[in-house]
Amino acid sequence: MNLPITDRSQFTESSALTIETITHVHHWNDSLFSLKMTRPASFRFRSGEFIMIGLPQENGKPLLRAYSMASPSYAEELEFLSIKVQDGPLTSRLQHIKEGDPIYLGKKPTGTLVTDALLPGKRLFMLSTGTGLAPFMSLVRDPEVYAMYDEVIVVHSVRQVADLAYRELLESKLEGDPLLEDEDRERMIYVPTVTREPFRTQGRIQALIDDGRLFEQSKGPQRFVPDDDRVMLCGSMAMIKDHAADLERRGFTEGSNAQPGQFVIERAFVG
């Protein structure tokens, strides 16, 4: 039997976890939702990083999973994007969370989907499937990213049109964002693609790369150029593996926080 999420007495603060409060929940469809929570005054992270969040189990121990922050590093609240897994140990409960409910938040953000892990370049491509969009929603709303690149290209591949979370915001080029200048917003390019329904762009990301559709809105070369282009990958492990191999065949080298490169991947799981 699942514990009621609202029972704050089941939560215990520790050296690794704080207890935060849900401030907003949005259900995009039957399989996708996002949530916002309070942010501790001392919590610092780089846009694109992930953190552990979770709920207590019946034995009192925290059940935690890694989630990328979908909010930029300056945001007053922390935002996360999640799938709904009916038999998932955490998401089966997390999908029912409501405003005012408590939630665990880790204290040590980390990750490689950060600009620090990339060499300087001219174009930044963020290739995502499903909830892999989350860290890119953090980065695409960070003014510092636009100071580093001429173009910031967000690519989101999903099965159904309804799975295109944040679509209106991205199609509006982040209209109303408090910190982005108009020239920043003009350099942001959004490429949504759908694989199992009719849509203006259809097909997997690899197909868009191979036939050039991925580059149609760019003012730069209509192909990947290792010297100038930087790529971030976030999605299923199969997607990451396939695209990493493709980039390496094209002459790209993988980067890390310790040794920046031309593309980076994230191995955090959500379930």
Tell me 254's DSSP state. Answer: B
Residue with tokens 């514990």: 3
Residue with tokens 């295109």: 164
Cα-based angle 151, 230, 208 (whole degrees, multiple of 5) = 75
202: how many CB neighbours lie within 10 A of its CB?
Answer: 15
Cα-based angle 186, 187, 189 (whole degrees, multiple of 5) = 95
- Alpha-carbon span 67 to 6, nearest angstrom: 21
Of the two residues 102 and 7, the one the predictor is more confident about is 102
Give start and end residues of each alpha helix (H) in 129-260.
Answer: 134-139, 143-146, 167-171, 182-186, 205-211, 237-249
**pLDDT at residue 12 is higher than 80:** yes
Q: What is the mean pLDDT of the chain?
A: 94
b/e map 112-142, b = 16+ CB within 10 Å: bbbbebbeebebbbbbbbbbbbbbbbbbbbb
DSSP bridge pairs for 81: 34
Q: Bin 22: left if φ > 0, else alpha if -120 < ψ < 50, else beta.
A: beta
Pairing of strands 62-68, 50-56: antiparallel
**pLDDT at residue 4 is higher than 60:** no
Q: What is the pLDDT of residues 49-70, one digit of tens each?
A: 999 999 999 888 999 999 999 9
Query: In residues, how long is the chain?
Result: 271
Contacts of 110 (CB under 8 A, 6+ apart): 49, 50, 51
16: how many CB neighbours lie within 10 A of its CB?
Answer: 13
Question: Computed over its alpha carbons, how large is the radius of gyration of the chain?
Answer: 19
12: how many CB neighbours lie within 10 A of its CB?
Answer: 12
What would the mean pLDDT of 174-198 be, rounded to a whole number?
Answer: 96
Q: What is the pLDDT of residues 69-86, one digit of tens each?
A: 999 999 999 999 999 998
Q: What is the pLDDT of residues 15-47, one digit of tens each?
A: 999 999 999 999 999 999 999 999 999 999 999
- Alpha-carbon span 57 to 2, nearest angstrom: 8
pLDDT at 90: 94
Q: Bin 100: left if φ > 0, else alpha if -120 < ψ < 50, else beta.
A: left
pLDDT at 239: 94
Contacts of 244 (CB under 8 A, 6+ apart): 233, 254, 263, 265
